[in-house]
Amino acid sequence: MNFLRGVMGGQSAGPQHTEAETIQKLCDRVASSTLLDDRRNAVRALKSLSKKYRLEVGIQAMEHLIHVLQTDRSDSEIIAYALDTLYNIISNDEEEEVEENSTRQSEDLGSQFTEIFIKQPENVTLLLSLLEEFDFHVRWPGVRLLTSLLKQLGPPVQQIILVSPMGVSKLMDLLADSREIIRNDGVLLLQALTRSNGAIQKIVAFENAFERLLDIITEEGNSDGGIVVEDCLILLQNLLKNNNSNQNFFKEGSYIQRMKAWFEVGDENPGWSAQKVTNLHLMLQLVRVLVSPTNPPGATSSCQKAMFQCGLLQQLCTILMATGIPADILTETINTVSEVIRGCQVNQDYFASVNAPSNPPRPAIVVLLMSMVNERQPFVLRCAVLYCFQCFLYKNEKGQGEIVATLLPSTIDATGNSVSAGQLLCGGLFSTDSLSNWCAAVALAHALQGNATQKEQLLRVQLATSIGNPPVSLLQQCTNILSQGSKIQTRVGLLMLLCTWLSNCPIAVTHFLHNSANVPFLTGQIAENLGEEEQLVQGLCALLLGISIYFNDNSLENYTKEKLKQLIEKRIGKENYIEKLGFISKHELYSRASQKPQPNFPSPEYMIFDHEFTKLVKELEGVITKAIYKSSEEDKKEEEVKKTLEQHDNIVTHYKNMIREQDLQLEELKQQVSTLKCQNEQLQTAVTQQASQIQQHKDQYNLLKVQLGKDNHHQGSHSDGAQVNGIQPEEISRLREEIEELRSHQVLLQSQLAEKDTVIENLRSSQVSGMSEQALATCSPRDAEQVAELKQAKSVPVEGESELVTAAKTTDVEGRLSALLQETKELKNEIKALSEERTAIQKQLDSSNSTIAILQTEKDKLYLEVTDSKKEQDDLLVLLADQDQKILSLKSKLKDLGHPVEEEDESGDQEDDDDELDDGDRDQDI
């Protein structure tokens, strides 16, 4: 303690060099004292001096402080003092330094001390190990020190942490700390750690960072939370921005669904704090990160669909139409909705169905367009609405058609009770505000972008300019305003609209050239020598004239391609024309507009170019230049080549379609062959079973016939009245029962045959003909013989019987005979049907076998080709082996002759030989 009193006394009384001596004495005490209390007191004194005498303490004490961190880890108090001292040395957070020069010197000092500290990477690794300590007095200063190091020299510190074992995982544990100050400072540490380092961003994301950060945001109250929510949102942006892997992980982890709760704000909010505005602004920016146009299209599309499915887009549209929303939040919400719907048909359709809560309800698109063409609205809001409208029409032919349809005569509301999107655009196009002119022209151009149908439809639009005068077309009115010499911004907007309208639309070009005043106006504008402000208009006029040449179908005799080129050569000169055309892409605002789709301008005078129009200029500038220099013969040749190419493309497309159809047919035939095989096997089994049953019926029939013959043969010796025609009554009953069973079995067989016929009908191509004459000839003699035998038995008289008994016997025998003949006929029909069925199935089987044989032949050919290829490979391997052997022998000869041989080859060969020997030894051991 006496030592400390001397030190402090020296601080207050002595001159500047006395402080340096005091610091030196303290450093000596830290380095040489054996008692822990003395070292601790010395470090605490250095801490108290480190803020005021930062340079002196940093130079003399840093090495000793690092040594304390290495050797005195068991004492948390001295470790805490050492960490705080190092933080004061390295950090630039000194309130006293308010002057610019002193602040710059402080920053330089901090980066220099940081460079000294991380010169030994073990120091950073040591700091990471200290963060594993749960003691608050160790962990919290460690977090602050590491954060300061990352702020001073981020990339090298990030690299050290990245290669450190489990380095990032140790820092992720800070988010799970129950002490809020450590958790919150841990978020700041991870902010600095993940800045501009994709590898660390991926590791942090896969360490469950999204889950933890979203939990913290929820715990803090979402958008109503404090500064901690802001820090978490900034960290989330670091992890997701320009990192496709993390964006995909965020979407696949269903974290987009959890974002919906952020935007549950409504009209009941009486006031918005500055922190809430900041939080919601960051939340909207985070949504835009996931659906940014600069992301891969597939990733953006999947995120857009997820946002619609979970209701996030609906929530954003609710904010869009709510009242009491701050202007900057409303503007950012419009930009966010724009990118959520851009190029996504489902989202665009939903947005088209959104209505504003007005009476009567109006579509959200109409309400937004009202703001765009209203010059009293803020500039940034009007830019946001234009971007939203552009995104709604991007790759949306349905939406483009709906917008253009609101301008057509058949769809205009005659009562005037409601205003449409098309009417708002026309009103903005011809208003006195040049910014409204430009925005309306660009919006209308996006309704025509890449849509030839709507370009032709827009030619039908007629405008009533004044009472008593006939209506004029929209195209004519645009050219009329253009020729009246309005503001540059208005003329640029109209020229961009006309260029977009006429490109790839020969009919629109014809309508434009049909007005005899248009071409002289364009040539006059291009030929004049005007100031720099007018050069852009000259370039756009040159582009419009070039489009009128390139997409000209030569339907107007006075304005064919050749005559327009001759006019340029006479009035302007080809070189001068090309120079004027180049004014567009050389303009300083052209490159700025070409970078991003969003119209983001600092002030209205910078709104000159549209992003999609810059693409059109880039596409057409070269082809128009070539078209101007081409002769008429070259044009004809080019048209012939185009026709030939189109014919060739048509032929190629035709054959592609034919091959595609043949592939489909081949697949269907293969499936049919497989199905027919299975059906054939089933039907063969059924035929075998039916043949067996028929044979059983034949045997039963023959048995009955034999029994009847025997009974008739013995009729003369039996006169018992209990017998009927030589057959016992019990035998008659049994025969009747058997006949009934046969009949019922026959009905069952007929139902089965009906089912088989249904299957066979699907396989056969034509109906089966009736029984052939040959079959009748074959069956008739045998049946005739059986019938004759039964008739003979019937005609044999029996002595001693009355005529009545004889008549009864005759009737009974005739009945039996009739029944047997009927059954015989049915059996013959059944045999005939089964025979025809078998024949048809055999034909199908032969066809299937033929197809299988063809496929087997192709397979054998392919197998032979594969065998030949393998054989050629083996031959090449043998040749290579021979070459290697020759090279080795030549090397040995060269070595014997004293010529130098490369050692690397020998060592490599030797190593290969050693590896082979080792493998051989291992094989022997095994």
pLDDT (mean) for 502-522: 94
Cα–Cα distance between 690 and 753 in angstroms, integer? 9
Q: What share of the chain is helix, strand, coil (3-state, %, to 5)?
A: 80, 0, 20
pLDDT at residue 713 is higher than 80: no
Give the rounded percent of residues in the chain with a pLDDT score beyond 70.
79
**pLDDT at site 372:** 95
Cα torsion at 238, 243, 247, 248 (round to 10°)?
-150
Give the rounded percent of residues in the chain with a pLDDT score beyond 90.
54
The more confident residue out of 818 and 307 is 307
Confidence of residue 418 (pLDDT cuts 50, 70, 90): confident
The least confident of 193-197, 299-303, 897-901 is 897-901
pLDDT at residue 904 is higher than 50: no
Cα–Cα distance between 396 and 338 in angstroms, integer? 13
Cα–Cα distance between 686 and 827 in angstroms, integer? 17
Of the candidates 115, 126, 71, 119, the residue with the CA atom closest to the CA atom of residue 89:
115
Full 3-state SS string of 363-425? EHHHHHHHHHCCCCCCHHHHHHHHHHHHHHHCCCHHHHHHHHHCCCHHHCCCCCCCCCHHHHH
- pLDDT tens digits, one per residue of 777-812: 444 455 455 545 544 544 444 444 444 445 555 666
- pLDDT tens digits, one per residue of 563-615: 999 999 999 999 999 999 999 999 989 999 999 999 988 999 999 999 999 99
Confidence of residue 775 (pLDDT cuts 50, 70, 90): very low
Confidence of residue 850 (pLDDT cuts 50, 70, 90): confident
The β-bridge relationship of strands 472-473 and 355-356 is unpaired
**pLDDT at site 644:** 73
The least confident of 68-82, 322-336, 664-678 is 664-678
Tokens 């290579």 correspond to what residue? 880
Confidence of residue 636 (pLDDT cuts 50, 70, 90): low
Confidence of residue 355 (pLDDT cuts 50, 70, 90): very high
- pTM of this prediction? 0.67
Residues 6+ apart with CB under 8 A from 686: 752, 756
Q: How far is CA 558 from the centre of its chain?
A: 50
Backbone angles phi, psi at 35, to 5 degrees: -85, 135
**pLDDT at site 494:** 96
Confidence of residue 905 (pLDDT cuts 50, 70, 90): very low
Find out whether 447 and 403 touch, Cβ atoms under 8 Å.
Answer: yes
Residue type, 139: R
Cα torsion at 95, 98, 101, 102 (round to 10°)?
-30
- pLDDT tens digits, one per residue of 56-95: 999 999 999 999 999 998 999 999 999 999 999 999 865 4
The least confident of 333-337, 470-474, 499-503 is 470-474
30-37 long-range contacts, Cβ below 8 Å, gap at least 24? 30/61, 30/64, 30/65, 30/67, 30/68, 31/64, 31/67, 36/72, 36/75, 36/78
Tokens 């025979």 correspond to what residue? 835
Of the candidates 35, 80, 26, the residue with the CA atom closest to the CA atom of residue 53:
26
The more confident residue out of 387 and 818 is 387
**pLDDT at site 13:** 38
**pLDDT at site 611:** 95
pLDDT at residue 206 is higher than 90: yes
**pLDDT at site 863:** 78
- pLDDT tens digits, one per residue of 420-454: 899 999 999 989 999 999 999 999 999 999 999 99
**pLDDT at site 391:** 97
**pLDDT at site 902:** 61
Tokens 């009202």 correspond to what residue? 370
Give yes or no for a cis peptide into 155 (omega within 30° of 0): no
Tokens of 809: 């016997």
pLDDT (mean) for 902-920: 47
Q: How far is CA 497 from the centre of its chain?
A: 32
**pLDDT at site 768:** 38
Exposure letters 659-669 (e unless 16+ CB within 10 A, then b):
eeeeeeeeeee
pLDDT at residue 692 is higher than 50: yes
- pLDDT tens digits, one per residue of 378-407: 999 999 999 999 999 999 999 999 999 999
The more confident residue out of 771 and 807 is 807
Full 3-state SS string of 42-65? HHHHHHHHHCCCHHHHHHHHHHHH
- pLDDT tens digits, one per residue of 485-496: 779 999 999 999
- pLDDT tens digits, one per residue of 102-121: 555 666 788 999 999 999 99
Residue type, 288: R
**pLDDT at site 909:** 47
The more confident residue out of 749 and 622 is 622
**pLDDT at site 102:** 53
Find out whether 840 and 763 touch, Cβ atoms under 8 Å.
Answer: yes
**pLDDT at site 711:** 62
* DSSP line for 193-213: HHTT-HHHHHHHHHTTHHHHH
